[in-house]
Amino acid sequence: MSDRIYFPNIRAPGWPFGEEHEDTSLRTKFEDGSMQSRSKFTRSRRKWTLHWNHLPRGQYLVLMHFITKVVKFSAKSFIWVNPDSVSFAYGEELDPHKEEVEVRITRVGEWKNEAMRYWSGDIEITEV
């Protein structure tokens, strides 16, 4: 049995969603305007901001349960499938280009009940 935790099967976040790469360099400026730099880390982690508009209440409750009870915000990492990497022409099981990323939740934004039984909000996930 696998100990891997997977992101819940809910509707994909809205497009566009943001991806940011961590700057792994250290820079020091000198009085004469020159600069010295070097690598701070051996790899750059990516960060995604995922936003949902009008997520049905049932899926919202699944997502909030996952965040608060399963992974306990940032306490546990999980596997997230980047929806931009899934080719719907072949189906998930046959897609050789599906990108699975181990991430943790680094921020849960404010969620609003903007319409009856529909929620909108965002989360930020960061590569482990």
pLDDT tens, 51-102?
Answer: 999 999 999 999 999 999 999 999 999 999 888 776 555 555 545 567 889 9
Instruction: Give the burial class of 47: count Cβ atoms within 10 A of its Cβ; 0-12 exposed, 13-18 middle, 19 or more buried.
Output: middle
Task: Say if residues 107 and 124 touch (Cβ distance below 8 Å).
Answer: yes
60 sits in which H/E element: helix 57-65
As a whole-number percent, the residues of the chain with pLDDT over 90 amount to: 53
Task: Give SS3 for 8.
Answer: coil
